[in-house]
Amino acid sequence: MIKAVIIFNTAGKHRLVKFYEEIPHDKKNEIIANLFKECTKRGEYSCNFIEESNLWRGCKVIFRLYATLYIVFVVDEAENELGILDLIQVFVEVLDKAFENVCELDLVFHPERAYALLEELVMGGMVIETNISEIWKISQNMIALERKS
Amino acid sequence: MSSMRGLTMFISDIRNCQSKDLEEKRVLKEMSKIRELFSNTRKTLSAYDRKKYVWKLLYCFMLGYDVDFGHMEAINMICSPRYSEKFTGYMAASLLLHANSPYLEQVVNAIRNDIVSYDIAHQSLALSTVANLGGQLLTAELSQDVIRIIRGEGFGLDFEVNKKALTCLTRLYKQDKTIINPAEWGGKISDLMDTRSVGMLLATSSLLLEMMRQNGYENFISCFTKILQHLYRLVMLKEVSADYLYYQTPCPWLQIKLLKLLQMFPYPTEPRICSDINEVLEKITSQTEVTKNVNKNNTDHGILFEAINLMIHYKDNIPESLRTQCSALLGRFISVKEPNIRYIGLETMAKLAEHPDGQYMIERHQSTVMISLKDPDISIRKRALDVLFGMCKQSNANEIVGELLDSLPEAQFNIKEDLVLKTALLAERFGQNLKWYIDVIIRLITFAGDYVSNDIWHRVIQVVTGFGSSIDTELQEYAATQAYNALNNSHAHEKMVKMGSYLISEFSQYIVNKPDMNPQALFEILNRHFPVCSSETKCMVLTAYMKLSHNYPDLLMSAIPVFEHHTMHIDPDLQQRAIEYYNLCKDTYEAIRNEVLDVMPTFSEDIKNQNMLIRRMVHMDHHTEAAKTEKPVEIKPNMAPAAQIPQQPPKPAIVDLLEI
C-alpha cells in the first residue's frame, strides 16, 4: 500500500502533501523534514530507494528528482519498487500533459489541480489508473464540469 | 479548477516572503482573517469566497501549518450541488480530517447521497474520499452502499465508477474484514475478472489480493485460470490497447499485480496449466534486456523481479533450466552499474538466501555481493549485508566474517550496529571453533566498540562459562589470555575493559602461572584502564579486583586502597559497591566472602539456545528506535541466580546483611 505521496522542492518547500494513513499533524511535518534530509543526502549514482526504519517503520521510501522537485512515495513491503518508480514517472507525465510542460510554478499556483490529478492515479493508497490518456480525459471532464457550475 | 484570484495573490505573497518568520507572519495573518470571516454570523460568505478561503486554508495546511478551525465550513461544501464546491469540500475532508473526526458524522449522509446518486462525477468524488479516509465510521455507514454499486444494483455499469467502488471496498475491507464474506465473494470476483478493462482488472486484483492475504486461496480457486489467462494475454500476445502500452510494455502494473496474485496460489497440478506458466516465465526472463532508457529498464525489470519472486515461490516445481537462468540473471543484475537494479537484485537474493533450497542459486555470486558491501550507497550496502548474512554457513563463514570485519572500519555509522550484530551472530553460529569466535568479538570491540551492544559481550561470557555440565577449560584459558593481550595496550575500548575484567578475574587460575604473568600483572592490566572508565565499568572492575584479591590475598594491599578511595565517590552505585567490598575484605566476613566470591556456575542449557542476539535482531528490525535506548535483555529467571554477570552487586540478600 502507498502510505504517502509527497512533493517538495530542492529547498524543502512542500508542494504537495498527501497521506493515506492517519498521522498526527506534528508527526507529518517531522516525517517530511526527515524525508527531505534523506533525499538530499543521496548521491547522483545512488539508487532511488531509502530504507531508514527511523523514518517510517516498516516502510520504504521511493523517490525521484525532476529538475527542482523531489517526488516521494512512501510504501509498504507489498509494493513492487520498480513499479512505483514507473508510477512516479506516470504521475509526472500526467502533470506534464495537464500543465503543458509542467514546472514547479504550476504546482505552486494550482495545487487544486495537482491534487485532483493525483486522485485519479492513486486512491486510498492503491493505484487505480495508469493510463495517461485516460487520466487526462477524466481531468478534462472535470474542468468542463467546473466551468459549467 | 478555474483560477481563484485571491488564492493566487496569497500564494505569491507567501512566495515573496524573504524568511520563514515573515512567511509564518503572513500565514497567521491570513488564518486569523479567515477565522473571523467564518465565525461572523451576520454576513454570509458567497460560495466563491468560501471556496477561495478553504483552498487558502488547505494551502497553509500543505505548507505544514496546523489548521484547527474551519473544518466544518470546509466539509459542509460537500452538500453543495455545484461540482467545484463539492470538489473543494471532498478535498478538504480527505486532507484536513482524519478517519475518526467527529465532523464526519455530520456529512456522512451527504456522502451517501453522492455515492448512490446517478452522477458519475459526484460518485467518483465521494468514493475517492471514503477510500482515502477509511476508518470505522465510514466503513460501518457506507460499505453496504459501495457493495451495491459493485453488485450492479441500481445504476453502476460505468467502469469508472465500478473501478473506484472496488478500490474503495478494498480499503474498507482492510479496516473491517467482516464486511464481505470470502465464500460468497470468490465467485463474484471470478465473474469480475472476465472483463478486459485494465482499470477494472487492476482494481479487482487489489481486492482479491487483500482477501487472499486474509483468507488463503481456497475460496478463490476459480480465479486462478483467469489470472493466468490475463497474464498470458499480456505477456505472450501483448493484447492491450495502445494507451496501456507503457514504454512498449503492456500495462506493467497489471502484470506485476497478476504475478503477485499467482504467488498466493500453490503450483498447479494440471500439466497444461503448468506449461502455460512456464512459458510465461520463460518469456519474461528471456525478453528482458538492460537498455539505455531508464524508464523502460524500470518497467521491464519490475516485472522480471516479480516473476523471479514467483519462481522462488514455486521452488523446484519449475524446470531446472528456468532456475539456472534465474540464477544467472541475478548474478548479472548485481554486477550492473544501474543502482536500482542492483538494489533489487540484492533484495531478491536475500529472499532466496532464506530458502534452504535457494542457497545454491546464489552461492557462486558471493564475491560479487562482497563488492556491493563496499558500495558508497547505504541502501545497497544494507541489502548486500542481508544477502551475506543469509548465505553464510559453515563452509564459507571464515571468508564472509573476514570480509565483514574488513568492511567495518570504513562502514558508516548507520549500518555499523547491524553489521556488528550480524558478524557476532555468524561467528558464533558457523565458526569452526569457539576460539575463533572469541577472536572475532575482540576484533569487533577493537574496531567498533561503540556499536557493540552489551548483549554481544554478555553472550561471550555465557559461551565461555559454558552451558549445563560442559565446561571447556581450554576455551576459558584462551579467552582470558586473549582478553589480557587485548588490554595490554595503552588504550582499550571500555567494552573490552568490561568483558576483560570478567574473563580475567573469573578464569585467572588458568593464566596466572603462564610466563610473564602473575597476580600483580593481572591487577595492573585492569588498573591501567580503570581511571578513564565510566562508573558502570568501574563497578565491574571493582568486582574483578575483589575476586582476584580473594584468590591471591597478596593483592589485598593494592585493592583495599582503591575500595577505600571510592567509598566517598559521588556515584551511588559505585560508592555502594566500594563500601561493600571494602568491608567484605575484613576477616569477620570470611564465610560470606567465600560464598559470594565462589566460582560462577555454568548457564542452563536453555540459555544456549535462546541467543539474545537473535531476539535483539528481530527487535531491531521492528523497532530500531526503541532498541537504541533499551536496556539489555533481562536475564531469565530460570537462570541460576549466582550466574548473573556482575552488573548488579552479587547476591543482594547477603549484601543487606552487612548492615550498610
Question: Chain B residues with CB inside 8 Å of A127's CB?
Answer: 202, 206, 253
pLDDT of the residue at B112: 92
Of B239, B244, B243, B218, residue with least CA distance to B229: B239
**Could you say which of B318, B339, B368 is where a domain stops?**
B318
- Which residues constitute the domain of residue A64? 2-148
How does pLDDT run across A88-123, given as a tens digit for each residue?
999 999 998 888 888 888 888 888 889 999 999 999
Residue owning grid cell 464481505:
B180
Taking only the tens of pLDDT, chain A with its 149 residues reads: 899 999 999 888 899 999 998 888 888 899 999 999 888 888 778 888 988 767 777 888 999 998 889 999 999 988 888 889 999 999 999 998 888 888 888 888 888 889 999 999 999 999 988 888 888 888 888 888 878 76
Residue B31 lies in a domain: no
Question: Chain A residues with CB inside 8 Å of B379's CB?
Answer: 46-47, 49-51
Looking at residue A33, which CATH number applies to its domain? 3.30.450.60
> Rounded to 5 degrees, what are φ and ψ at B333?
-65, -40
User: Given an 8 Å threshold on Cβ–Cβ distance, is B339 in contact with A47?
Assistant: yes
How would DSSP label each residue in B570-631? SSHHHHHHHHHHHHHTSGGGHHHHHHHTSPPPPBPHHHHH--HHHHHHHHHHH-HHHHHHPP
Residue B134 lies in a domain: no
β-sheet bridge partners, residue A73: A5, A62
Of B554, B550, B500, B495, residue with least CA distance to B527: B500
Distance (Å) of CA A122 to CA A98, A129, B1, B202, B391: 17, 7, 19, 12, 38
β-sheet bridge partners, residue A76: A59
Out of B82, B160, B343, name the one closest to residue A49 (CB). Answer: B343
Q: Note the maximum CA span of chain B.
A: 99
Question: Chain B residues with CB inside 8 Å of A51's CB?
Answer: 379, 382
Shortest CA gap B513–chain A (Å): 51
Residue B576 lies in a domain: yes
C-alpha cell of residue B272: 497444461
pLDDT of the residue at B392: 85
Q: Is B295 exposed, middle or buried (0-12, 13-18, 19+ CB in 10 A)?
A: middle
pLDDT of the residue at B336: 84
Question: Chain B residues with CB inside 8 Å of A141's CB?
Answer: 121
Coil/strand/helix, residue A60: strand
Coil/strand/helix, residue B427: helix
**Could you say which of B297, B318, B339 is where a domain stops?**
B318
Residue owning grid cell 550484530:
B421
Out of A25, A80, A124, name the one closest to residue B167 (CB). Answer: A124
**Could you say which of B318, B350, B383 is where a domain stops?**
B318
User: What is the total count of domains within chain B?
Assistant: 2
pLDDT of the residue at B508: 87
Residue B457 lies in a domain: no
Question: Chain B residues with CB inside 8 Å of A113's CB?
Answer: 1
Out of A131, A138, A149, name the one closest to residue B243 (CB). Answer: A131
Shortest CA gap A42–chain B (Å): 8
Interface probe, candidates A36, A66, A131, chain B, greatest B C-beta count within 10 A: A131
Q: What ipTM was assigned to the predicted interfaces of this complex?
A: 0.93
pLDDT of the residue at A32: 92
Out of A46, A86, A134, name the one closest to residue B339 (CB). Answer: A46
pLDDT of the residue at A2: 92
Coil/strand/helix, residue B14: helix
How does pLDDT run across B15-72, given as a tens digit for each residue?
888 888 999 999 999 999 999 888 887 778 888 888 899 999 999 999 989 888 888 8
User: Given an 8 Å threshold on Cβ–Cβ distance, is B339 in contact with A113?
Assistant: no
Residue B657 lies in a domain: yes
- Which residues constitute the domain of residue B272? 181-318
User: Given an 8 Å threshold on Cβ–Cβ distance, is B379 in contact with A47?
Assistant: yes
Whole-angstrom distance, CA of residue B535 vs CA of residue B4:
66
pLDDT of the residue at B659: 32
Predicted TM-score of the model (pTM): 0.81
C-alpha cell of residue A34: 526527515
How does pLDDT run across B227-281, given as a tens digit for each residue?
999 999 998 888 888 888 888 888 899 999 999 999 999 998 888 999 999 999 9
Whole-angstrom distance, CA of residue A88 vs CA of residue B386:
28
Whole-angstrom distance, CA of residue B511 vs CA of residue A2:
61
Looking at residue B225, which CATH number applies to its domain? 1.25.40
C-alpha cell of residue B380: 545497497
Whole-angstrom distance, CA of residue B495 vs CA of residue B448:
10
Question: Chain A residues with CB inside 8 Å of B91's CB?
Answer: 112, 115-116
Residue B186 lies in a domain: yes
User: Given an 8 Å threshold on Cβ–Cβ distance, is A145 in contact with B83?
Assistant: yes
How would DSSP label each residue in B222-281? HHHHHHHHHHHIIIII--S-GGGEETTEE-HHHHHHHHHHHTTSPPP--HHHHHHHHHHH
Shortest CA gap A33–chain B (Å): 10
Low-confidence ranges of chain B (pLDDT < 50): 1, 623-660
User: What is the total count of domains within chain A?
Assistant: 1
Tally C-beta pairs within 8 A across A and B.
183
